[in-house]
Amino acid sequence: MSRAARRCQPVPVEVRQTADLLERRWQLSILYAALTGALRFNEFADAVAGISPRMLSERLRDLKAAGLVQRTVIPARPPTVEYRLTERGRKLGPIIEAMREYSRGF
């Protein structure tokens, strides 16, 4: 068998883009929290133990910019902000669940 026949395929740009987003620290934990019901900033902070408020805010902005999370300001006194997964964000649910199932084998 020739050496050329054993070559693997280059990593597709779509895989690299998704990995770049999800490899950032805390991103998967925040997405998991959103999938399991977190809506408000403090709920995310409670669910993702160890994340600083500054980092949580930054990561939520990243997820919003990527189209995975929608930020909604609810007019109330005081105003309330909720973060909900978009359709695109919800599509990551089966992937995150598969990762959870996979880790049970360790």
Q: What is the pTM of this model?
A: 0.85
Is residue 3 over pLDDT 70?
no
Please tell me the predicted confidence (pLDDT) of residue 7: 85
Please tell me the predicted confidence (pLDDT) of residue 34: 97
**More confident: 22 or 29:** 29
> Tens digits of per-residue pLDDT, 60-96?
999 999 999 999 999 999 999 999 999 999 999 999 9
Q: What's the CA gap between 28 and 2, in Å, rounded?
A: 40
Is residue 31 over pLDDT 70?
yes
Q: Are 84 and 72 in contact (CB under 8 A)?
A: yes
Confidence of residue 106 (pLDDT cuts 50, 70, 90): confident
